[in-house]
Amino acid sequence: MHYRIAKGVFDILPQDPDPQGNWRETHLWHFFEKTMREVALAFGYEEIRTPIFETTDLFTRSIGSSSDIVTKEMYTFRDKGNRSLTLRPEGTAPVLRSFIEKSLHNQGKVHKFFYSLPMFRYERQQAGRYRQHHQFGVEAIGIGSPFQDVECIHLLWTLYQRLGLQNLTLHIHSLGNEETRKAFRHALKIYLRPHVNSLSAESQLRYETNPLRILDSKDAKDQKILEEAPKILDFLGEDAKDHFNTVCALLNDLKIPYLINPKLVRGLDYYNQTVFEITASELGAQNSLGGGGRYDGLIQQLGGPDLPAFGFGAGIERILITMLGQNVPFPKRRAPTLFLIPLGEDAAPFSFTLGSHLRTEGISVEIDLSGKKLKNAMKAASQKNAAFVAVIGDDEKKSGKFQLKNMQTGTVETVSSDELANVLQTYP
Give residues in contact with ligand HAM (CB under 6 A). Answer: 90-92, 121, 123, 128-130, 133, 135, 137, 139, 267-268, 288-292, 295, 311-315, 317-318
CB of 14 vs ligand HAM, minimal distance in Å:
22
CB of 70 vs ligand HAM, minimal distance in Å:
12
Each as own residue / partner, the long-range contacts of residues 365-372 (CB below 8 Å, 24 or more positions apart, any chain) are 365/336, 365/337, 365/338, 365/339, 365/340, 366/336, 366/338, 366/339, 366/340, 367/340, 367/342, 368/339, 368/340, 368/341, 368/342, 369/342, 371/345
CB of 316 vs ligand HAM, minimal distance in Å:
8
HSE (side-chain half, CA atoms, 13 Å) at 360:
5
- Of 271 and 350, which has the nearer Cβ to ligand HAM? 271
- Of 59 and 339, which has the nearer Cβ to ligand HAM? 59
CA dihedral 155, 261, 185, 188 (to 10 degrees): -170
Exposed / middle / buried, residue 78 (Cβ in 10 Å: 0-12, 13-18, 19+): exposed
- Of 154 and 195, which has the nearer Cβ to ligand HAM? 154
- Of 88 and 405, which has the nearer Cβ to ligand HAM? 88
- Confirm if 181 and 212 have CB atoms less than 8 A apart: yes
CB of 342 vs ligand HAM, minimal distance in Å:
46
3 state DSSP class of 174: strand
DSSP string across 187-198: HHHHHHGGGGGG
- Of 10 and 31, which has the nearer Cβ to ligand HAM? 10
CB of 143 vs ligand HAM, minimal distance in Å:
14
CA proximity to 293, closest of 275, 281, 278, 279:
275
Q: Give the helix ranges, DSSP H, for 67-200.
A: 68, 92-101, 146-163, 178-192
CB of 295 vs ligand HAM, minimal distance in Å:
6
Cβ count near 71 (within 10 Å) = 15
- Of 64 and 291, which has the nearer Cβ to ligand HAM? 291
- Of 292 and 342, which has the nearer Cβ to ligand HAM? 292
Q: What is the tally of helices (H) and strands (E) in the chain?
A: 15, 16
CB of 133 vs ligand HAM, minimal distance in Å:
3
- Of 266 and 397, which has the nearer Cβ to ligand HAM? 266
CB of 290 vs ligand HAM, minimal distance in Å:
5
Q: What's the DSSP call for residue 89?
A: S
The H or E element that residue 145 is part of is none
Residue type, 218: K
